[in-house]
Structure 1
Amino acid sequence: MTNDQENQVRGGKPKGHRPERAPAAEFRATEIAPADPRYADLVRGMNQRWVGRPESVRLVDSTRQVRAVVQEAVRDGKKLTIRGGGHCYEDFVFNADTQLVLDMSEMTSVYYDERFSAFAVEAGATLLDVYERLYKVWGVTVPGGMCYSVGVGGHVSGGGWGMLARQHGLIVDHLYAVEVVVVDAHGKARTVIATREKFDPNRELWWAHTGAGGGNFGAVTRYWFRSPQATGRRPEQALIKPPSEVLISALAWPWEDMTKEAFARLTRNYVAWHMADENALPGSSYSGLMSSLLLNHKSNGQIGLVSQMDATAPNAEKLLELYIAAVTEGVDIEHGPVTNTMGELKPMPQCHKPQRMPWMQATRYFGTTNNTLVDPTLRADYKSAYNKRAMTGNQIDALYEHLAHTDLENPRAMVQLSSFGCAVNSVKPWETASVHRDSRFKLLYQTYWNDPADDSANISWLRNFYEDVYQETGGVPVLDDTTDGCYINYADIDLNDPRHNASGVPWYTLYFGDNYPRLQDVKAKWDPCDHFNHRQSVRLP
């Protein structure tokens, strides 16, 4: 009996899974060592702060090959890490301890699997590839992230927030099954499929991949997606349909005119709108709206507000107009077009007046039109927070002081506030591993630069900024009535360090809340010898 046959799903669902592609359709697993001219390209991700020196990179094309590489690493006692899209915000893939890198970036197939009545997506596929395939061929999609080149493997396992989240939830809310290469207590690698079906004995392994992040339990090789409300068996019925058209709006305020009072009013307006139940509860007429307030450093020259609204919703244009009016109310500075790059978004001057676009065109536009993420010298640092209640006056003052201060001159330093709520909040915190289900908006603190000589200045600035905003709770957004911890997909190793996290709340609670003990039980069952680990992986109990 093969490993795959040993891990059949029991009950009324199809047993086993789609056979792997015939060997003739695969390339052979490729070993790339330091002397190979390809090596330098394969030992770094998007963030050039993280460049590895592994003994080799193994480029694979099937679950069979993944299992063989994992077995080899276990047999030889080699530290193995896994690369998908290469967007990991910390050094979890490329670090001094890594000896073998399992590169899954060529495992990119997206297809409908009739036996599961679900769409199979290999873990190396990138988000835009998935959106294009699903929408062009079947008219459906998954509510994943905005950036085109993020790899599915890590994005999904960490929870997966995106532009359709308020309307359709997180991407993990549509995850039906996951295929994982795991290692048992005897050191044997095997392939397991875990589904969300209640009768599935492997269901807890599925649950752990709905928000615990990558590198914890095994090597994910494939996901299957089927929306929980789906009833039909045709591909067109298996997943959500995005709006055929969306409205895109992009406004900017000049920093040179931005007083502390105007900054505070704009930020409070944005926050207050998201706090209002009529805008944030599941089923709201505003569930089709996703908006980000882009609070750039003063050296950028502008502060931005970028929004996407489902254009097919009743009174969509009026709803967007009222939203913009609410956020801009009392801000006595005239807004104009977005003419500067803001984080991962390019200038959008044509969208000062809302533009109606087909959904796929808008998705490409947001995801691909900035050159930041393809800069081969890009260096970056990130931090995150969730909010259940409004930010305090002291916190907003801290935002202003650090963004207006001239101790750093970097137009790519910023904090981005982004919409949460609606469908995301319709799921209970324990129903998936993604625990932040009461939050109304989230924050991404980030800074980009290019010269290694600027590392210290940027990292220190971001640390001081973040710790000042949350100084009343030990320098981090603890899980209390106001804040709700941090996002594992925006990994931040400073949360482990009491010099930067003086709250007494451990990093794993900030990421996973009350779900952490359950994740540890999954770890103990499926990776009992801790072969899959990094500095913020789930620990054995």
Structure 2
Amino acid sequence: MLVLFSPQHGRELKYLNKPEGDIPVSIYVTPESNNYPGLDRGFNQRFKLDNDLSPSQGEGVYLVSNASDIVETLQNLYKLSAQPGEIKVISGGHCYENFTFQSATDTDSGTRTRFVIDLSNMRGISEEVKEDKEYIVVEPGASNWLIQQTLHAKYGAALPGGSCYSVCAGGHIAGGGYGLLSRLHGLVVDYLAGVEMVIPDATEGKYKIRTFTPGNDEDRLNWASRGGGSGHFGIITKYYFEKARVPAAPEHALFISFPVAWEQFSTSSPETDAANFAAFLQAYYDACTQLPEQAFTLGKFTFRQNSSDFMAISMQVVYGEHSGHDSATLGGQDVPAYTRDEAIKAIYDFIDYMKDWIPEAKESKHLQQPYYLPGHPVSASVLLNHLYDLPWIDMTQMLNGSGENQCGKYKSSCMIENFTQPEGEEIYYFLTGTQKDNEVPDTLDKAQTLIQIDSYGKQINAMDNPELFHTAVAARNSTLKLQYQTYWKNYENRDEEQRKAVEKAIVAWFNKGYNFIHNKGTNNASGFPVWGDKYQGCYFNYPDRQLGVNPGYTSDPGELYGDFLQLYFGERVRDELLAIKTSIDPTNRFAFSQAVLNLTRAS
């Protein structure tokens, strides 16, 4: 028997076997249901709903199937006296912070998530015709892998989105949508025509479906959904991509992972080692600037535990008749297709740039050694120095991992200019646990602590700019994207107080190390990647509560930036998003710790 919440009964919870008539009904999963564990949390095991939610108050998870379900559910939750910040939304559950699963113990005000609207059953990929144009329509619960597999099989197409297979469209697309094809085709939002969204109605407690109409964006919600993030203004129920503007999928891809031995930075002189490591990072930056659009690199620069450890740089190059980019159809700049020989040459050119740091494959003691690529967005087991040559869709499947469900903390920065010498040295000290005044906690899982440095730029920077202003992604001059990551497990022999203590110690160390690095990168101007000639802030899809939080929410330990929206979006986009919020949702019905809020109404 399913537990259903029918709009015709208002505050009453009614147990039914099936919906009555054609009235939209969402599936209500109570905290007492056997399928509630797992629905009460996302991929990051740090965050879950409080244990004392009450079925008698309608608290718990609501599984919806369409926009009408969402409208009815929201309106009924209003009748249950739901307040701003108590209703949250989830599609895939990969949020790096507690935007959905907000515990009362993690807020200054005690406001917590009481109701979760779960979009995971809305996973359709279909077609619609509007004003004689064909659109591919993606629902928010569709996963990255489902999207790529469907587009490839049905249309021979591919969106340049992320690689973690279980990340879903609901959060990924609206935040930008960045993946291994982005240097060739840009970001997913560069192809997003618009959205359907459930938004507040002018009448208190009422909601409406804001449909997608081609060429009409008076409310600016289509624009805001191109990189401004999800959950600020309403609930996106459909993403529309003009069929003729979705890039063709490349036929083939090469992939290889190079080991980078820590022992070359492990002499008797820490100062010399730090200087050499900085030179290595500078060489990596230079090598990335020389990459063709078809190539993408992931630098998995992991914490050193002993001198025999090694890091890895992975590289993918696509080739085939459809491995180019047609600016007349897609925008940006023309890129000719790559042959296999040209793809091989791109790999050897990269090796040549990095020859002082990467040994030739035949001389590497790690040749053909199995290696697990840690962290996100690519998490897979590969053989080192082994050249994989597969159909592109098979390569995407091979690299399509999400890793283990555990606890994690993430940080980011978008970098324009090369690493400064002091900055590169500070990264060395961070990854070797030798930063001054930042002692490594005993509970840190060093094997799962890394800075991932991905190649960026090329078509990402060509598809939009501040003058065109097609999207809410303002970071269009960056060459590298850095993602700081650390993971740990909640062991059974730790009670809740001990788990919180472990989390606080790890996060405090992690944040402080990040601040030290950026102080060096900004010549002591800021412990954050402030917008300027050197950095372009942070990536909203990698949220970080150290940047700051809205009133009533608890931030990370350590130094805070404050104006987190400015750091994510820059001033112009931030101001536009705030204006849209005031227009669409002036009473902040949709709110979380880093949501765009109408601050005149925020408590």
Residue of structure 2 aligned with 1:223, choices 239, 243, 252: 239
How far does the alpha carbon of each residue in 1:350-382 deviate from its partner, in whole angstroms, 9 at most, with x for none? Answer: 3513221111111111113x6x24x3xx00000
Secondary structure of residue in 2 paired with 1:40:
coil
- Deviation, 1:348, is 4.6
Report how far residue 395 of structure 1 moved: 1.1
Matches of 1:299 and 1:498, distance apart in 2 = 26
The 2-side partners of 1:388 and 1:61 are apart by 42
Cα deviation, 1:323-362, whole Å, max 9, x if unaligned, reads: 1221334667965456443224556543513221111111
- Structure 2 partner of 1:447: 486
> How many residues in Structure 1 have an aligned counterpart in Structure 2?
495
Residues 23-52 of structure 1: CA distance to partner in whole angstroms, max 9, x if unpaired?
999994111111111112211000111011
The aligned runs of 1:179-194 (5 Å cut-off) are 179-187=196-204, 188-194=206-212
How many angstroms apart in 2 are the aligned matches of 1:448 and 1:186? 45
**Secondary structure of 1:120's aligned partner:** strand
Partner residue in 2 for 1:399: 427
Counterpart among 200, 210, 223 of residue 226 in structure 2: 210
Structure 2 residue identity aligned to 1:59: L
**Off by >6 Å, runs of 4+ in structure 1:** 22-27
Decide which moves more: 67-76 or 411-420. 67-76
Deviation at 1:435, TM superposition (A): 1.1
Helix, strand or coil at the partner of 1:108: coil
- Determine if contact 1:118/1:238 at 8 Å carries over to the other structure: no
Q: Which residue of 1 aligns with 2:67?
A: 63
Equivalent runs, 1:182-331 vs 2, <5 Å: 182-187=199-204, 188-194=206-212, 197=215, 199-202=216-219, 204-226=220-242, 237-259=244-266, 260=273, 261-274=275-288, 276=289, 279=291, 286-299=292-305, 301-312=309-320, 313-314=338-339, 315-329=342-356
Between 332-341 and 51-60, the greater mean CA deviation after superposition: 332-341
Q: Please name the residue that 1:110 is paired with.
A: 125
Aligned to 2:584: 526
Q: Could you tell me how far 1:265 is from its partner in structure 2?
A: 2.8
Distance verdict in 2 for CA 1:196–1:114, change over 3 Å: closer
Alignment-derived partner of residue 16 in structure 1:
none
Residue of structure 2 equivalent to 1:126: 143
Structure 1 residues without counterparts, runs of 5 or longer: 1-21, 227-234, 280-285
- Taking the aligned partners of 2:391 and 2:20, their CA distance within structure 1 comes to 39
Listed one character per residue, the Cα deviations across residues 189-247 of structure 1 (whole Å, up to 9, x for unaligned) are 000024562x4434x11011111112100011111112xxxxxxxx5x44111210011
Which one of 507, 510, 515 corresponds to residue 462 of structure 1?
A: 510
**CA 1:60/1:309 → structure 2, altered by over 3 Å: closer, same or farther?**
same
- Given the superposition, is the C-alpha separation of residues 293 and 507 from structure 1 closer, same or farther in structure 2, using an over 3 Å criterion? same
More helix by share: 1
Which of 372, 375, 382 does residue 343 from structure 1 map onto? 375
1:163 aligns with 2:163: no
What residue number does 2:536 align with?
484
Query: Kindly tell me: are residues 289 and 532 of structure 1, through their superposed partners in 2, closer, same or farther at Cα, counting changes over 3 Å?
Result: same
Name the residue aligned to 1:353.
386
1:129 counterpart letter in structure 2: L
Provide Cα deviations, 1:124-167, integer angstroms capped at 9, x if missing partner: 11110111111112211211111001010100111111111011
The separation in 2 between residues aligned to 1:140 and 1:403, in whole angstroms, is: 40
Shift of 1:57: 0.5
CA distance, structure 2, for counterparts of residue 184 and residue 29 of structure 1: 20
Alpha-carbon RMSD = 2.5
With 530-539 and 295-304 compared, the bigger mean Cα shift is at 295-304
Q: d(CA) in 2 for partners of 1:402 and 1:324?
A: 26
TM (norm. structure 2) is 0.78
User: Which is worse superposed, 328-337 or 172-181?
Assistant: 328-337
Give the corresponding residue for 2:323. none
Counterpart of 1:41 in structure 2 is: 38
Task: Give, as a single letter, the amino acid of the residue that structure 1 aligns with 2:317.
Answer: M
* 3-state SS in 2 of match to 1:133: helix
* Distance change (3 Å), C-alpha of 1:194 and 1:529: farther
Unaligned stretches of 5+ in structure 2?
Answer: 1-18, 54-58, 104-111, 267-272, 321-337, 435-439, 491-498, 549-554
Task: Name which of structure 1's ranges 263-272 and 60-69 shifts more when overlaid on structure 2.
Answer: 263-272
Percent identical among aligned pairs is 28
Amino acid paired to 1:107: M
Post-superposition CA distance 1:448-507 (Å, at most 9, x none)? 11023632332122112201101223211100110110011100011016974466x621
Structure 1 pair 195/461, CA: closer, same or farther in 2 (3 Å)? farther
CA distance in 2, matches of 1:215, 1:302: 40
Which entry has the higher C-alpha Rg, 1 or 2? 2
Number of the residue aligned with 1:540: 598
Does residue 434 (structure 1) correspond to residue 473 (structure 2)? The answer is yes
Structure-2 change in CA distance of 1:303 and 1:498 (3 Å): closer
CA distance in 1, matches of 2:585, 2:252: 45
Matches of 1:26 and 1:419, distance apart in 2 = 49
- Secondary structure of the 2:38 match is helix
In structure 1, give the amino acid aligned to 2:41.
R
Q: Distance in 2 between matches of 1:357 and 1:454?
A: 42
